Structure 1
Amino acid sequence: MIAVHRAARAWRAADSAAGGLPLDLGLYAVSAAFAAVTAVTSTLPPHRAWGSVAAVGYLLAALAVAGQLLGRHRWPATATVRARAAVTGFAWATTALLPLLLQAVQRASGRTDRAQEEVVVVEDAGIRLADQGSPYLSHDAIAALPADERLLGYTPYQPGMALFGLPRAAADAWWTDSRVWFALVTALVLALAVTTLRQPGRPGAGRPAGAVLRGVQAATVLPVCALTLATGGDDLPVLALCLLALAFAAADRPGAAGVAVGLAGALKLFAWPVALVLLFWAVTRRATGRFTLGALGLPLAALVPALLVDRDALVENVLRFPLGHGLVTSPAQSPFPGHLIATALPAGRGVAAALLVAAGAAIAVRLLRRPPGTAAATALVCGYGLLAAILLMPSTRFGYLLYPLALLVWAPALRRPEPVSAESRTAALSRA
């Protein structure tokens, strides 16, 4: 716990230095290097295509921030934040949206190497949803596929994710690429989250614009997010809805928080731990009923049509396959500790599973003994909990780190601003 507090203090000090510009410069410079290395060394064609475009975008953003640093003494603090926000928007447009659109257009023109597998899976799920009322193939239908196509026959998402594939059922064009709709929903949801945090008249309104901007950067221009959106994208709407739920929690709107995280849970299981931690927050606000109505009701309602059409197909895709009991195994094998333990030690999968259970038990004890009473504390529990789970799961992806990273950086934007005393206001005016 002491190490966490020290890390938080160090982060706040780095983030507040020179109006946050040095940290911006470091973010874009390191991201440019990462994108350039990805363009040269990645074994995945969509990733190489992303890196070749994003490296230029990050480099231009870094140059813009360097110019802001040189001239920052001429501008008031509010102008600095607005300029940083403009660079953030430019960076997201050039490192996520532009590569996404280029790959979508190239794919529509016949390039089959311009999308990750999840794009195809979501679009096929949307087509099946439109044709037969369920996004899932049954066990027998997957078994009938050629061996090298069975992995793409699985849809390991909640039923709501298939909605992003519905445009492909209507037309085969660049704008029906599911990534386009992932990006659109992500942008709209993040805009609503920022508006919620900055809305006058709401509890805690007037949160520092710099903290909110840093949270937005973590969900947009951070390479793991920009790369994911441009090449695959299905995690970004889920993340954005989780951040919106926390923003609603910071504004003391438990019902809206439940709806937001419930929508996320209707898309992907990754939102369910966030919903669970938010439930403990709702208990401290005596709003369990209002929160649970959306948080639990929406995911359950999304499951009903698939259950009625083919219950076994739902279980095969949503439970058996993620748990490793499908016809094929998940290719998610990033070299995190859980995977290394599972593959390198005797009975390694059991050891990794035991560590994962122990981490989950520790978090459960923490929630029961000291449930989070604020949205910021909730975000920190979610962030550290998901980080531990991702590191300890035997099968996981590097890209999943976007969840804990964004949640942890989002936490300072959720804190209520401390009231400014008359003495502090007078001292600030005397220094001006």
Structure 2
Amino acid sequence: MADAEPTAPAARRWRAVDSAAGGLALDLGLYAAAALFAAITAATSTLAPHRAWGVPATIGYLLATLLVTGQLLARRRRPDAPLAGLPARWAVTGLTWAGTTLLPIVTQSVQRAAGRTDRAQEEVLVVERAGTRLAEHGTPYLGHDAIAALPPGEQLLGYTPYQPGMALFGLPRAATDAWWTDARVWLALVTAVVLAAAVATLRGTSAPTGPHRAAALLRAVQAVTVLPICALTLATGGDDLPVLALCVLAVALAAAGRPGRAGLAVGVAGTLKLFAWPVAVVLVCWAATRRAGRRTALGALGLPVLALLPALFVDRDALVENVLRFPLGHGLVTSPAQSPFPGHLIATTLPAGRIVAAALLVAVGAAIALRLLRRPPRSAAGTALICGYGLLAAILLMPSTRFGYLLYPVALLTLAPAVTLAEHRHHPTG
């Protein structure tokens, strides 16, 4: 476990579950559980966009469940049947993503353009308003006084708790009001393109190809696309998925021995959201073991800083109010991110709970930092694991967090086996 690799027994157990019936058993469980999740969401969610997602998503997951059932039957009759093979599993994954994510995005965007005001989460409105402000004023952020002047019910939407690059997804809406200018459409398009690049990168590594490597890659793609937490997030809000996809691409480029490009990929992610910054730090530590730390840091840390400069020059106080004060709980309104994870429960139920939760979070961060200094990851797979476990601990301990943020650690931890099999262990090339 020198490089944060999973223990042998744990790895064997995962491989046994993942490869049962040629991977189809876990596919069936995934789609059946996802159908149940979508149906419960459609029936019980208090958020209208979530309910609107739940209905088509339930149908999409049920169809996928039926298709996998047919694949299992075909495999039972003939183990080498093409219908039960890996290409067919890829096809089912693609169809499922189209039915449970892309179709709901288009449907909700069209309905919203036709006048439905309950077909987008607040994140969509925030991104689009940030794009309009960027186009008109050169900064996506409103200052403290401007937010205070808004009606109380609109002050939350006045905040833009993202990095400046996220506002780019709102620029199409600033230009014209149409279904295709909905921020989710562009968030989904970028996510798809970046994931395709990550898959191509991992397939193109010099490691020997084989069925285990291809199956592990498919499982990683499923974790970023058809997993309900990802499908729901992209279809109704969308802002986290391009960030996650860029982090996946960065790890894939690291596996291909391209630290400079990995730094650029995670740096672009860092211009969108703070969640990418810990991944950037870990990647720089990995690159340092290959004598490419400066090259990687130039993109990984330089791009996010460069993206902040225009907003800093236009209105420094507005930048601080949105990017620092609000996420830390010192804004005019509090964040609605209140999922009942340990950090939130500690902060809201114990005396001095916020201090206790913050202390635990700092302690975990210090432990990870010490681990990176003493034993930096020497492989892309180790990098993915450290990022996954680190983000999981942070999400569980943050006083204000969302259930949907779990998509980051789940995807990165699922990516690790695919990266392990595709690892390129020669000297860096770019």
TM class, shorter-length: over 0.9
**Structure 1, unaligned runs of 5 or more:** 420-432
In structure 2, distance between residues paired with 1:20 and 1:263: 34
Tell me whether 1:70 sits opposite 2:67 in the alignment. no
TM-score norm. by structure 2 comes to: 0.94
In structure 2, distance between residues paired with 1:238 and 1:3: 24
In structure 2, distance between residues paired with 1:89 and 1:46: 23
Out of 230-239 and 306-315, give the one that drifted further.
306-315
| 1:276 aligned partner | 281
Tell me whether 1:26 sits opposite 2:48 in the alignment. no
Please tell me whether the aligned partners of residues 203 and 250 of structure 1 are also in contact (alpha carbons under 8 angstroms).
no
Aligned pairs for 1:281-300 within 5 A: 281-300=286-305
Deviation at 1:78, TM superposition (A): 10
Aligned pairs for 1:268-417 within 5 A: 268-416=273-421
Change (3 A) 1:220 1:366: same
Deviation at 1:418, TM superposition (A): 9.4
Out of 349-358 and 319-328, give the one that drifted further.
349-358
In structure 1, distance between residues paired with 2:139 and 2:422: 47
Please tell me whether the aligned partners of residues 71 and 84 of structure 2 are also in contact (alpha carbons under 8 angstroms).
no
In structure 2, distance between residues paired with 1:378 and 1:11: 19
The alignment of Structure 1 onto Structure 2 pairs a total of residues equal to 417
Deviation at 1:411, TM superposition (A): 0.7
In structure 2, distance between residues paired with 1:182 and 1:294: 22
| 1:427 aligned partner | none
| 2:61 aligned partner | 58
1:305-361: CA deviation from partner (whole Å, max 9, x where unpaired): 111111111111001110111111101000001111111111111111111111112
Tell me the amino acid that sits aligned with residue 340 of structure 1: L
Tell me the amino acid that sits aligned with residue 220 of structure 1: T
Tell me the amino acid that sits aligned with residue 317 of structure 1: N
Aligned pairs for 1:162-311 within 5 A: 162-199=167-204, 202-204=205-207, 206=209, 208-311=213-316
Please tell me whether the aligned partners of residues 45 and 114 of structure 1 are also in contact (alpha carbons under 8 angstroms).
yes
In structure 2, distance between residues paired with 1:4 and 1:250: 17
| 1:47 aligned partner | 50
Tell me the amino acid that sits aligned with residue 321 of structure 1: F
In structure 2, distance between residues paired with 1:204 and 1:160: 35
In structure 1, distance between residues paired with 2:198 and 2:5: 30
Deviation at 1:7, TM superposition (A): 3.5
In structure 1, distance between residues paired with 2:422 and 2:53: 38
In structure 1, distance between residues paired with 2:214 and 2:417: 11
Please tell me whether the aligned partners of residues 255 and 422 of structure 2 are also in contact (alpha carbons under 8 angstroms).
no
| 1:158 aligned partner | 163
Out of 344-353 and 241-250, give the one that drifted further.
344-353
Deviation at 1:3, TM superposition (A): 12
Higher RCO (CA-CA < 8 Å; seq separation 6+)? 2
**Structure 2, unaligned runs of 5 or more:** 425-430
Give identity over the alignment, percent.
75
Deviation at 1:77, TM superposition (A): 7.8
Cα RMSD of the aligned pairs, angstroms, is: 1.7
Change (3 A) 1:32 1:297: same
Change (3 A) 1:226 1:417: closer
Tell me the amino acid that sits aligned with residue 331 of structure 2: G
Please tell me whether the aligned partners of residues 53 and 235 of structure 2 are also in contact (alpha carbons under 8 angstroms).
yes
Tell me the amino acid that sits aligned with residue 80 of structure 1: G
In structure 2, distance between residues paired with 1:17 and 1:418: 24
Tell me the amino acid that sits aligned with residue 376 of structure 2: P
Deviation at 1:301, TM superposition (A): 1.3
1:194-249: CA deviation from partner (whole Å, max 9, x where unpaired): 000001xx332636111111000000000000000000000000000000000000
In structure 2, distance between residues paired with 1:254 and 1:77: 38
1:116-139: CA deviation from partner (whole Å, max 9, x where unpaired): 000000000001111111111111
1:388-417: CA deviation from partner (whole Å, max 9, x where unpaired): 000011100000000000000011110135
| 2:131 aligned partner | 126
Out of 30-39 and 64-73, give the one that drifted further.
64-73
Change (3 A) 1:369 1:172: same
Change (3 A) 1:290 1:205: farther
Please tell me whether the aligned partners of residues 204 and 250 of structure 1 are also in contact (alpha carbons under 8 angstroms).
no
In structure 2, distance between residues paired with 1:187 and 1:416: 23
Deviation at 1:75, TM superposition (A): 2.7
SS in 1 for 2:332: coil
TM-score norm. by structure 1 comes to: 0.94
Q: 2:141 aligns with which of 133, 136, 143?
A: 136
Tell me whether 1:107 sits opposite 2:112 in the alignment. yes
Out of 285-294 and 24-33, give the one that drifted further.
285-294
Tell me whether 1:35 sits opposite 2:34 in the alignment. no
Deviation at 1:293, TM superposition (A): 1.3
Tell me the amino acid that sits aligned with residue 170 of structure 2: G
In structure 1, distance between residues paired with 2:62 and 2:322: 41
Please tell me whether the aligned partners of residues 74 and 84 of structure 2 are also in contact (alpha carbons under 8 angstroms).
no
Please tell me whether the aligned partners of residues 343 and 349 of structure 1 are also in contact (alpha carbons under 8 angstroms).
yes
In structure 2, distance between residues paired with 1:3 and 1:243: 18
Please tell me whether the aligned partners of residues 21 and 69 of structure 1 are also in contact (alpha carbons under 8 angstroms).
yes
